[in-house]
Structure 1
Amino acid sequence: MRPCEPDPHSSHCDPCAAMDYKSEWKEFLEKISVLQWMLTFLFMGVSFLLLLVYLMFTSLWVVPVLYFTWIVLDWDTPERGGRPSAWVRGWAVWKHFRDYCPITLVKTAELSPGRHYVLGSHPHGIMCLGVFCCFGTNAAGFPHLFPGLRPHLATLAGLFRLPVYREYLMTSGMCPVSKKSLQYLLSQPGGGNAVVIVVGGAAESLTCRPGLHSLVIRDRKGFVRLALQYGAALVPVYSFGENDVFEQVLLEEGSLGRWLQGMVRRVLGFAPCLFKGGTWGFLPYRTPITIVVGSPIPVPKLFCPPQETVDHYHQLYIEALEKLFHAHKTQCGLRPTDQLQII
Structure 2
Amino acid sequence: MKVEFAPFNIPLARRLQTAAGLQWVLTFLLLGSVSVSKKSVSHVLSKEGGGNISVIVLGGAEESLEAHPGKFTLFIRQRKGFVKIALTHGAYLVPVFSFGENELFKQVSNPEGSWLRTVQEKLQKIMGFALPLFHARGIFQYSFGLMPYRKPIHTVVGRPIPVRQTPHPSPEQIEELHKTYMEELRKLFEEHKGKYGIPEHETLVFR
TM-score by length of 1: 0.51
Q: Match for residue 199 of structure 2?
A: 335
1:180-204 deviations in Å (ceiling 9; x for gaps): 1111001112222221111111111
How do residues 76-225 of structure 1 correspond to structure 2 at under 5 angstroms?
165-225=24-84
Please state if 1:266 is matched with 2:125: yes
**Distance in structure 2 (CA, Å) of the matches to 1:268 and 1:321:** 30
Structure with the greater relative contact order (CA < 8 A, sep ≥ 6): 1 or 2? 2
SS of equivalent residue, structure 2 residue 8? helix
Residues 1:49 and 2:6 are matched in the alignment: yes
Partner Cα separation in structure 1 for residue 193 and residue 114 of structure 2: 35
Q: 8 Å contact 1:202–1:270 — kept in the other structure?
A: yes
Query: Between Structure 1 and Structure 2, which shows a larger proportion of helix residues?
Result: 1
Partner of 1:292: 156
Is 2:96 the counterpart of 1:240?
no
Distance 1:279 1:243 in 2: 18
List per-residue Cα deviations over 1:84-125 (Å, max 9, x = no partner): xxxxxxxxxxxxxxxxxxxxxxxxxxxxxxxxxxxxxxxxxx
List gaps (5 residues or longer) in structure 2.
12-20, 140-144
Q: Cα distance 1:237–1:166, how it changes in 2: closer, same or farther (>3 A)?
A: same
The whole-number CA distance in structure 1 between the counterparts of 2:105 and 2:129 is 17
**Amino acid of the residue matched to residue 268 of structure 1?**
M
Q: Secondary structure at the match of 1:195?
A: coil
Count of residues in correspondence between the two structures: 189
* One-letter amino acid of the counterpart of residue 196, structure 1: V
**Does residue 1:314 correspond to 2:164, yes or no?**
no
Q: Which amino acid aligns with 2:123?
A: V
- 1:267–1:170 CA distance, 2 compared to 1 (3 A): farther
Percent sequence identity over matched residues?
Answer: 44
Check whether the contact 1:233–1:296 (CA below 8 A) recurs between aligned residues. yes
1:234 alignment partner, SS class: coil
C-alpha separation in 2, matches of 1:337 and 1:259 = 30
Provide the C-alpha distance between the structure 1 equivalents of 2:179 and 2:111, rounded to a whole number of angstroms. Answer: 32
Amino acid at match of 2:7: L
CA 287–296 in structure 1, closer or farther in 2 if over 3 Å, else same: same
The CA deviation at 1:165 is 4.6
Q: CA-to-partner distance for each residue in 1:129-168, whole Å, 9 max, x for gaps?
A: xxxxxxxxxxxxxxxxxxxxxxxxxxxxxxxxx9875433
Aligned to 1:71: none
* Larger Cα-atom Rg: 1
TM-score of the superposition, structure 2-length normalised? 0.83
Q: List aligned pairs for 1:59-70, cutoff 5 A.
A: none
**Paired letter, 2:204:** L
1:227 aligns with 2:184: no
